[in-house]
A and B are shown apart, each in its own frame.
Chain A
């Protein structure tokens, strides 16, 4: 489907294309079943950022406020990249492992049930 417009060639550049972020790409990161954080976070990071830098650096500040975050076992945690199973490679860059602009990363820690086991 497409828009019905009075202008014959209704076409605009995407406002959020990569070129507009001054060398950064956007990566969203969400922790499934942990709703202390109301939504996934949006991070602007260079595509050359390694996964380790993202996980242990960028993500740390906001996620560590959760009482369970220090208990996360990264050996067993599972990931989804754009809703498909994903095995991150720590020392490779986001770009090298297909984490693109506006990609969504979700991680799961089934043994951690959230604050008061309520998914919070």
Chain B
């Protein structure tokens, strides 16, 4: 006798696990061809504890309510010319970096989870991945809608998908996700769900959303709140996947450890962009990158890895390097962009005197000694009317694809150079972490699409940098790039201020 109305628990089972079926006329292995090649051993999928405990109908209802509120705020933001309430037009450049560098990753995540959501033999894991896939699609859509308002008033927002696929520095986030999506389904979950969403996501999310709040950007801030409950669910998937793999079979432990080592390092390199945003791009600062790293990785991550120790998992490789890098990474990253400001799709600038003092205060051991002099030189050149733009293309790291501007952490005026020889070719890396990743899977990274080399191979259209930027990247030269000082963004902003509208 079946009850007319299912209780919540039964309904949940019916709409998730009961959607699975047995294969009586086909080999189950053929139905899930990606499940074994990574070497992960699953002995019992029924042990998977569904992280979301949400059925599709409840999910639609819940998300639709959030969506309604979110779009009401976007409308109000737009009607009230919300862009005029941001602290300073420089702030908007952080949003340009987000739209071109991060939002396309939400789309990549949607594709990635849709793929692995088909590949797992366990129905619980499939449903969780499919739901996250839909979340990610929602995130990219709502982000685009949130930022589309800025596109009407500021430069650099017009061609973000095109730019993501082509622009030199955007190959950093793009290749990160390409790497994860071209891995097997279990590695993808350890890469994105665990290492990124669980261990490092607060370092992306908190700075951007609190940064938006601190700088009067209600659209981005509201998007953040709307995504927050999704992110919380994604983190529980990250935690479930790692516990599940470690409990299923002891042979999984070294494989999982290897992936944690790789993706933790890849993640820290990707976050260099967030580091420079926090320390240099937000007119009203939330906290320094160093403080964020201490709170969200060292404290929170430290406790997590203590918990995982009982499975035989240790802290990620090269974690001791990150403890030193937190003093340097944001300064080195912003200098890379400042000196390549002619080739960036957003504006760069010298920090104000007040901001330089804030940096000295937040980085007492490193800023005045190593980084203030760089800005003094930049100021001196700017005062002469020779704003410093570097004149040759940089050497890139084969793994993370960032210009090789990171230094030896115990010798911070010396660039760190690492290299490997593989099948007669030389490869260069910014760090021990990036070299280690290459050495583990050289066949993968010999394919790195390094923007500088691609330009020299003639694969990016132009014969010179200007043509590449204009024709291949589709940057609106003279508007999107160069210093904030003297930009059209700045002129329009000052005009709005003068008229008293801002």
A residues adjacent to B (C-beta < 8 A): 1-6, 10-17, 20-22, 24, 26, 28, 30, 32-33, 35-44, 61-62, 65, 67, 82-83, 100-104, 106, 114-116, 118-120
Neighbouring A residues of B79 by C-beta, 8 Å = none
**CB nearest neighbor in B for A40:** B395
CA distance A114 to B427 in the complex (A): 28
9-residue interface stretch from B59-67, B300-308, B439-447, B489-497: B439-447
* Cβ-defined partner of A102 (8 Å) among B336, B369, B425: B425
Most buried by A among B37, B391, B447: B391
Whether B405 is near chain A, meaning CB under 8 Å from some CB there, is: yes
A4-B38 CB under 8 A given contacts A65-B388, A82-B426: yes
A14-B439 CB under 8 A given contacts A22-B457, A119-B413: no
Neighbouring A residues of B376 by C-beta, 8 Å = 115-116
Contact present for B392 and A61 (CB under 8 Å): yes
Within 8 A of A (CB), among B369-392: 369-370, 373-374, 376-377, 388, 390-392
Q: Chain B contact residues: over half helix, strand or loop, or mixed? A: mixed
CA distance A40 to B184 in the complex (A): 35
Neighbouring A residues of B453 by C-beta, 8 Å = 15-16, 21, 26, 42
A102-B407 CB under 8 A given contacts A36-B374, A44-B456, A118-B373: no
Within 8 A of A (CB), among B451-497: 452-453, 456-458
Contact present for B419 and A62 (CB under 8 Å): no
Contact present for A4 and B456 (CB under 8 Å): no
Across the A-B interface, the 7 shortest Cβ-Cβ residue pairs: A119-B413, A62-B392, A118-B373, A38-B405, A41-B392, A3-B441, A62-B391
Contact present for B456 and A14 (CB under 8 Å): no
Neighbouring A residues of B407 by C-beta, 8 Å = 35
CA distance A10 to B377 in the complex (A): 49
CA distance A12 to B439 in the complex (A): 16
A2-B443 CB under 8 A given contacts A102-B428, A115-B373, A120-B377: yes
Q: Chain A contact residues: over half helix, strand or loop, or mixed? A: loop
Extra A-B contacts (10), CB below 8 Å, given A21-B457, A100-B426: A3-B443, A5-B443, A6-B34, A13-B446, A35-B405, A35-B407, A36-B339, A36-B374, A38-B405, A41-B394
Whether B449 is near chain A, meaning CB under 8 Å from some CB there, is: yes
Please name 28 pairs of A and B residues whose Cβ atoms are closer than 8 Å in the assembled complex, sorted by A.
A1-B440, A3-B441, A3-B443, A4-B39, A6-B33, A6-B34, A10-B443, A15-B453, A16-B450, A26-B453, A35-B335, A35-B415, A38-B390, A38-B394, A39-B405, A40-B417, A41-B393, A61-B391, A62-B390, A83-B417, A102-B426, A104-B417, A115-B377, A116-B377, A118-B369, A118-B370, A120-B373, A120-B374
Neighbouring B residues of A11 by C-beta, 8 Å = 443
Q: How many residues from B make CB contacts under 8 Å with A?
A: 56
Contact present for A40 and B404 (CB under 8 Å): yes
CB distance from A23 to the nearest CB of B (A): 11
Neighbouring B residues of A42 by C-beta, 8 Å = 392-396, 452-453, 456
Neighbouring B residues of A82 by C-beta, 8 Å = 419, 426
Within 8 A of A (CB), among B104-127: none
CB distance from A65 to the nearest CB of B (A): 7
CB distance from A56 to the nearest CB of B (A): 15
A12-B446 CB under 8 A given contacts A39-B336, A118-B370: yes
Neighbouring B residues of A38 by C-beta, 8 Å = 332, 335-336, 339-340, 390, 394, 403, 405
